[in-house]
């Protein structure tokens, strides 16, 4: 296997060893394979693309062919220690409902998304065009991303629903953190990772 994307390695640091995990939009299963190897997690991935499903199966990763927009009603409340979703939030019909469902099914949630507040995005929009950036390489008419948000938008949503932000990692497009991002996160972060917990009440 090629070297793991740094953001996925970072997620590994947030996952307690031996836990039970559900990975939404698991792709070819790279994260689950990494977590199984380094964290001895058990779990399943949900994936909609048949080629990815076949790739997971061929790699020995537990994968369930499913459409995230159909929700998580098949999974019991508190069935998993973690529910993880990397870079799928912005492609969902109702990302707010899916995150709420993730918080029902999992004790903790890890979600990552591209920051639409990044300066490249703003620059493109100031020029009057939809952004084409390294993090958002598709054209407006063929992108899968239908619900893009900024860091500020996402954190406002967390506040509105009372979701606790346990940790966040704000990275550039090479998945590194840095002083610029620390100084002005919503301008310089390209990839955001959040670890959430459901409201205490």
Partner 1 sequence: MAATSQANIEGAGGSVGIVVPRALEITEPLTLDCGRTLPQHTLMLETYGRLNVARSNAILICHALSGDHHAAGIYAADDRKPGWWDSAIGPGKPIDTDRFFVVALNNLGGCRGSTGPTTINPETGQAWGPDFPIVTVRDWVRSQALVADALGIDCWAAVVGGSLGGMQVMQWAIDCPTRLRHALVIAAAPRASAQNIAFNEIARQAIISDPDFHEGRYAEHGTKPSRGLKLARMLGHITYLSDEAMRARFGRLLRGGDGRFSFNYDVEFEVESYLRYQGQSFVDRFDANTYLLMTKAIDYFDPARDHGDDLAAAFAQARAKFLVVAFDADWRFSPSRSREIVNALVVADRDVSYALIDSPLGHDDFLMPLPDYHKVLRGYLSRVADEVSA
* Beta partners for residue 20, in sequence order: 42
Cα–Cα distance for residue pair 22/43, rounded to 1 Å: 6
Alpha helices in 30-131 (DSSP H): 30-39, 50-58, 95-105, 119-126
CB of 51 to partner 1, least distance (A): 8
Q: Which of 8, 10, 53, 111 binds partner 1 (CB under 8 A)?
A: 53
Intra-chain end-to-end CA distance of the chain, in Å: 43
175 with 6: CB under 8 angstroms? yes
Name the segment binding partner 1 (CB under 8 A); options: 10-18, 42-50, 93-101, 180-188.
42-50
Cα–Cα distance for residue pair 40/70, rounded to 1 Å: 29
92 with 70: CB under 8 angstroms? no
Name the segment binding partner 1 (CB under 8 A); options: 2-10, 48-56, 110-118, 187-195.
48-56
Q: Which residues of 139-174 are buried (b: 16+ CB within 10 A; e: fewer)?
A: eeeeeebeebbbbebbbeebeeeebeeeebbbbbee
Q: Which of 2, 3, 50, 142 binds partner 1 (CB under 8 A)?
A: 50
CB of 75 to partner 1, least distance (A): 7
CB of 193 to partner 1, least distance (A): 26
Binding-site size, partner 1 (CB under 8 A): 21
DSSP, collapsed to helix, strand or coil, labels residue 177 as coil
CB of 61 to partner 1, least distance (A): 8
Cα–Cα distance for residue pair 29/46, rounded to 1 Å: 9
CB of 50 to partner 1, least distance (A): 5
Rule CB under 8 A: which of 54-93 touch partner 1?
54-58, 60-66, 74-76, 79
Name the segment binding partner 1 (CB under 8 A); options: 33-41, 53-61, 127-135, 170-178.
53-61
CB of 196 to partner 1, least distance (A): 22
Binding map of partner 1 across residues 142-171, x = CB under 8 A, - = no contact: ------------------------------
Residues that bind partner 1 (CB under 8 A): 20, 42, 44, 50, 53-58, 60-66, 74-76, 79
């Amino acid at each position: 296997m090629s070297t793991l994307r740094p953001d996925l390695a970072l997620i590994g640091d947030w996952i307690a060893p031996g836990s039970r995990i559900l990975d939404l939009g698991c792709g070819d299963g790279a994260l689950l394979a990494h977590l199984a190897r380094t964290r001895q997690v058990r779990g399943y991935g949900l994936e909609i693309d048949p080629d990815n499903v076949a790739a997971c199966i061929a790699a020995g990763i537990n994968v369930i062919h499913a459409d995230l927009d159909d929700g998580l009603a098949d999974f019991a409340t508190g069935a998993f220690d973690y529910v993880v979703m990397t870079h799928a939030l912005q492609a969902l019909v109702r990302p707010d409902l899916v995150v709420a469902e993730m918080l029902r099914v999992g004790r903790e949630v890890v979600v990552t998304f591209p920051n639409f507040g990044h300066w490249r995005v703003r620059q493109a929009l100031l020029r009057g065009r939809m952004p084409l950036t390294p993090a958002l390489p598709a054209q407006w008419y063929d992108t899968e991303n239908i619900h893009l948000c900024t860091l500020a938008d996402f954190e406002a949503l967390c506040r509105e629903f009372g979701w606790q932000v346990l940790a966040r990692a704000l990275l550039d497009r090479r998945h590194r953190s840095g002083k610029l991002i620390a100084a002005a996160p919503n301008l310089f972060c390209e990839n955001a990772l959040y670890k959430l917990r459901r409201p205490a009440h």
